[in-house]
Amino acid sequence: MGWTETGQMRVSWSDGHTSVYTPPFLRSICPCAECQGTHGGPPKAFQILTPTQVQGADRQTQIMSVEPVGSYAICFHWGDGHKDGIYTWSYLRQSCPMSAAVAPGGNPG
């Protein structure tokens, strides 16, 4: 795992595939219960924002730090204080935004 010059996370997988994730994409796929709406409420992405929240919205996609969670996952600390999502490596691989561009035969489309 590393970072591009533009602040995107790059992961080179053991199968030879490379994934690049933008901070907004990573925040949009946050697997925590609050963001996914599994606490009984709607997913966080569908809540109406207050004016104060709108002003601080850019902090939602600022990665302040990244911590390993054992050897199976990482946790992002976001600029708005959110840090509950545990992104397993398998979840990140399955969520790769570049995988959609791969043709059925495994070749880039």
- Is pTM beyond 0.85? Reply is no
Q: Which domains does the chain have, with CATH numbers?
A: 2-98 (3.30.2020.30)
- Note the helical H segments in 14-86: 23-28, 33-36, 51-55
Evaluate if residue 67 carries a pLDDT over 70.
yes
Q: Which residue has the higher pLDDT, 32 or 46?
A: 32
Largest CA distance in the chain: 48
Evaluate if residue 85 carries a pLDDT over 50.
yes
DSSP secondary-structure letter at 47? S
- pLDDT tier, 107 (very low <50, low <70, confident <90, very high otherwise): very low
Of 1-10, 35-44, 45-54, 66-75, least confident by mean pLDDT is 45-54
